[in-house]
Amino acid sequence: MTTILRLYKTALKKYPLITSSLQTSGLTIAGDILAQTAVEGNSLKNINLLRTSQFGAVGLFLVGPTLTTWYRFLDKCLGNKGASAVLKKVAFDQGLFAPSFIVVFLTSLAIVQQKNIKSSIDELKMNYKDILITNYKLWPLVQLGNFYIVPVQYQILVVQFVAIIWNTYLSWKTQGSKFKE
């Protein structure tokens, strides 16, 4: 286990964007598989691999690089010490980044899933408010702890482990299945 941890730390230091993006993709895939099995009741042999790969691609090419860049930007601009810096980071993260990134995420997912523009806009209108409200029930508290305790290079990893739950929710919420509220 220490060898794996050492390899991970080395990869994260030498290749932060690639390492964070790969871990994000893997955990995004895990969230989609959980949505399909635990929430929607499919067996592992009946999961929609195309859907899972689409979520993984959005994690790899959008979420991982964006979060890596965003957290480094916050750390550089707002600092990493003290309650004031943490509160500012959470305010920027949840007040500015989260509302806009949800739109970017949902739009990117619709593009990857090859949905037409009208249905993409309709789904965005239908899901955005619920997703944003759910975001505010989970992420501010997570980010308070993350920004206060965790060094910047590990913040994405912490977020992505919590995001297994979030990704499960997003997968379920965005699939237009019979399992929607």
Cα separation of 151 and 147, whole Å? 8
Q: Decide if 2 is inside a domain.
A: no
- Tell whether 97 is covered by a domain: yes
Q: What residue numbers bound the domain in which 142 lies?
A: 8-162
Is 123 within a domain?
yes
The two three-digit tokens of residue 48, written as one number: 């929609």
Number of domains forming the structure of the chain? 1
pTM for this structure?
A: 0.86
Count of C-beta atoms within a 10 Å radius of residue 75: 17
Model confidence pLDDT, tens digit, residues 85-127: 999 999 999 999 999 999 999 999 999 999 999 988 998 999 9
**Has residue 169 been placed in a domain?**
no
* Cα–Cα dist 153/165, whole Å: 21
User: pLDDT (tens digit, 9 = 90+) per residue, 140-171?
Assistant: 999 999 999 999 888 988 998 898 899 888 88
Residue 137 covered by a domain: yes
Q: Is 74 exposed, middle or buried (0-12, 13-18, 19+ CB in 10 A)?
A: buried
Sign of the four-CA dihedral 79, 85, 91, 93? positive
Q: Is the pLDDT of residue 45 over 50?
A: yes
Asked, for residue 108, whether it belongs to a domain, the answer is yes
172, part of any domain: no
Residue 36 is assigned to a structural domain of this protein:
yes
